[in-house]
Structure 1
């Protein structure tokens, strides 16, 4: 983040980590079971799919944030199952993403660097739920170059890439 004004409050960030810690053991176990089994099965039949199906919107947001964070940190490991989980959560509209959650996701994505190719999948989907009036502030809060470049003809960075 570029300024103190833009920094997420420590209590807010700690709340994110507390929520992620609740889902982390089940998420890690589900990812490991899916890696060991047939990861090509239909998502609802996987351990990750069953876990995602058991959670409410707040739980899915926490699971998405954890999976996103895990994949960004271990992008060089075998994260196909984790990335599938992130894509599945990104594909679920109406989860009620907050401005601070999106800002945190984007900050994590930017920090991961370009080697983490899928790093903007979940933040883009989450940002799509924010009111358009929040987008300029969100973009202003991030370091220069943090948002992905727009492809030719696109007008919304949430859809880029």
Structure 2
């Protein structure tokens, strides 16, 4: 679920937002993840997604609850959301952010994510404007969907990984003696 403040919608992994109001900004924080911003300048509609991985490996069976992690699903949701809001597919222009390789031990996840996004957009015939991906630093992206203006700033510290709190397997406290 997106967090909404007075004029800002903050999205996290697996989320997207489509907006056609001039006073709203969509924001996200990225490491190896990718955010794609789509904009239709004629309709004054824009949207952003944030995905963790491009697509599952061929042998990985993806459950319904895991779909939002993958760009292949996130891109379809964003494109469909844009069309539903009144955008014309032929007018869509994309800008990509993220895909950093922040943690060396994880290999080139960020690079693979960025390559997936480029392939997907080219296959769908969506023009790519700015492609600010790669490197080793996290990014904060702020997108004004109505007019398509974007600000991307580099962040010194990588974004925190948000994990659900672990519950004790035994269901309570244990006294050891």
TM-score (norm 2): 0.29
Q: Which has the larger share of strand?
A: 2
Q: Decide which structure has greater helix share.
A: 1
Which structure is larger by alpha-carbon Rg, 1 or 2?
2
TM-score (norm 1): 0.32
